[in-house]
Amino acid sequence: MDLKDELAAVKALLVTLDHAQKDQKLDALTPEAQDALQQTITNCQRVCDEFGERLNRWKTGSGPRDRVCFGLFVKPKIEDLRKKLNPCRSTLNLAVSTAVLLTATTPVSITESMRSQLRDNEIRIAEEMKAMDDQKTEVEMALQQANTAQKTDSNPSETIEQLGQQLDTLSLSRKSLECLVSQSHQLRTGQKFTKVAVSDGGKLLAGLINCDSGIEAQQEFHDVNVTGGSAFLGVGKNVDSKKLTTGSYNEQLRLAERHLKFDVFALKRIIAATFDRPASDIVEFFKLSEGGFNRVFQANFVDGKCVIARLPYPSTTPEQYTIASETATLNYLRRHGICAPDVYAWSSTKENPVGAEYIIMEKLSGAPLGDKWFSMTPKEQYVVMKQIVELEARLMSLEFPACGSIYYSRDLPRERKIPLPDKNADEFCLGPIVHYGWWHGERKTLNIDRGPFLSSTDIFRAVGERELAWTKEYAKPRLPYERLYREIYEFRHDNMERLEPVESKKGFKCGSTRDEPLGRISHRWVEPRTTAPMNCFLSKFPSLESYIS
């Protein structure tokens, strides 16, 4: 398509949109989309007028001056105008097609076929937005270079003006497309989708879903989940560091449990001091992810070094023991040649400048296995599974004299502990179990034995005594848990008298008649969750590089 044809095509679209507005065919668009589209139309009209004027002067100019100014020697200027027309034309085309689809579709009458058409149209919009984002990056770089080259001149050059106009055109066109894809997505899924970001050639969309308008607009997104063409928010970098932002369930209570008060600047200073560097060397600090028990932040230094900081939620129990055991366990694994992240610093108490417990540790390289698994061939999956089995075998080969959690001996000055019978005996020991089952809810307040345990009978007895203590202290009579049984028991509440036969026993009977000392059995102490797909990292694909315990 030559320059004249491009100009004619855009003008025809402008006429079509003008008629559509007069005939109220664009009323299906939201006011925000209509306003953005009107700005785009005005800008496109200005570009067309300017383009037509220059094209006419280039064609009809008869004097040598016109031939020099608008001839082959300055043809790049005409090419710049062509670049302005491209986003105008694509935006107007997509606006017309989207308006037609939205006019023919309502939330009540929408069918799967209509949803499919909307989804296909959203994909086309996303691809165009990605192209505009790439073009904006190029224009911004060119504009920066032009500004640098003309620092000595107080009057902006024509090149700078042209680049500025091109950037404005791209920004207006992208804003229009963002409004269109947001409205289409809301109609198709029932979710409001704003502040749209696009990546991976237009295949991934990310944004803020059903969020208040007061949320920071400029955000970067990663860990984006896409299902059936519907995009869901991953992790925004510029969000409140103290709040859970990636989940919504029993909202107020869950948020309160995970609202962590700490000094962000103190944490940055401690991270920098860990490597004998000033805090100013940290050029980027952001929330990386949120798990079931920790909030994870990433700090990037000026030289490219990356570390992460893990801070447990207030709801994570037990306090002090969890961080102390986790750091000791990770370092114990590394001592035995297991690929675990290196721990640089930690605090298992809130009595520090940060005001919270923390671990500063190595950021593992590679990609999570969970992100790669379904794109791997069966042969590659076999290779990875073989490595995981070998890792599990190495973990199971580690024998311990008792059942408990690993600690540094210095972290348990008063608690009962059992030293490890190897070269690390003076540094590491076994202490109270930190498993969630021993501490969750009211159980953290119970004065019970949490180990370490020397025999299997001790473990079984302690579990029974733990549940008996909780029942006596906190349990209330209730209907049978399974609804099916309630009618059978005539809707009677459980009776606390059933505990009397248990309490009258001198001890709890175990299913096994053998009381095995735990030091005689190969004790598998690593829980299955430690080798979950998102905790295993692949480096030289499909080679297992490391994992998080």
3-state secondary structure 337-353: CCCCCCEEEEECCCCCC
In 3D, which of 486, 485, 481, 519 has the Cα closest to residue 401? 519
All structural domains of the chain with their residue ranges: 3-190, 251-363, 365-398+525-549, 403-521
Most confident of 5-19, 175-189, 357-371: 357-371
Distance CA 342, CA 246 (A): 27
pLDDT score of 264 more than 60: yes
- pLDDT band (50, 70, 90) for residue 307: very high
Q: For residue 218, what are the β-bridge partners? A: none
Q: Which residue has the higher pLDDT, 184 or 2?
A: 184
Distance CA 455, CA 432 (A): 14
373-384 pLDDT, tens digit per residue, is 888 888 888 988
Distance CA 399, CA 521 (A): 8
**Helical (H) or strand (E) element with 514:** none
Sign of CA dihedral 110, 116, 118, 122: positive
What integer best gives the mean pLDDT of the chain? 73
Q: Which residue has the higher pLDDT, 157 or 290?
A: 290
Fold of 251-363: Phosphorylase Kinase; domain 1 (3.30.200)
Q: Which residue has the higher pLDDT, 16 or 308?
A: 308
- pLDDT band (50, 70, 90) for residue 129: confident
Q: What distances in angstroms separate CA 110 from CA 102, 106, 107, 122, 190, one per listed residue? A: 10, 6, 6, 16, 11
- pLDDT band (50, 70, 90) for residue 209: very low
169-184 pLDDT, tens digit per residue, is 778 777 777 877 777 7
DSSP state of 302: T
> Could you tell me if residue 457 is left (phi over 0), alpha (psi between -120 and 50 degrees) or otherwise beta?
alpha
pLDDT value of residue 203? 45
Q: In one letter, which amino acid is 499?
A: L
Q: What distances in angstroms separate CA 280 from CA 268, 299, 311, 500, one per listed residue? A: 9, 12, 22, 65
Tokens representing 111 are 């069918």
In 3D, which of 288, 330, 269, 36 has the Cα closest to residue 175? 36
pLDDT score of 320 more than 80: yes
Most distant CA pair in the chain, distance: 114
* Helix, strand or coil, per DSSP, at residue 178: helix
pLDDT score of 458 more than 60: yes
- pLDDT band (50, 70, 90) for residue 308: very high
pTM confidence score = 0.51
Average pLDDT over residues 241-265: 74
Average pLDDT over residues 271-280: 92
Average pLDDT over residues 285-304: 88
Distance CA 270, CA 282 (A): 11
Average pLDDT over residues 410-415: 82
470-514 pLDDT, tens digit per residue, is 888 887 766 666 666 667 666 666 665 566 655 555 455 555 445
Distance CA 196, CA 206 (A): 6
13-58 pLDDT, tens digit per residue, is 667 666 666 666 566 677 777 777 777 777 777 777 776 676 666 6
3-state secondary structure 249-274: CCHHHHHHHHCCCCCHHHHHHHHHHH
Tokens representing 188 are 């198709």
Tokens representing 300 are 């990037």
Q: Which residues are CB-contacts of 505 (< 8 A; sequence separation ≥ 6)?
A: none
- Other C-beta atoms closer than 10 Å to the C-beta of 234 total 18
Sign of CA dihedral 505, 511, 514, 515: negative
Residue 361 burial class via C-beta count within 10 angstroms: exposed 0-12, middle 13-18, buried 19 and up:
buried
- Other C-beta atoms closer than 10 Å to the C-beta of 36 total 23
Lowest model confidence (mean pLDDT) among 73-77, 142-146, 462-466 = 73-77
pLDDT value of residue 344? 95
502-535 pLDDT, tens digit per residue, is 555 545 555 544 555 555 444 445 444 455 666 7
Tracing tokens 């409004």 back to the chain, one arrives at 179
Tokens representing 130 are 């990605």
Q: What distances in angstroms separate CA 428 from CA 317, 408, 419, 433, one per listed residue? A: 22, 5, 7, 15
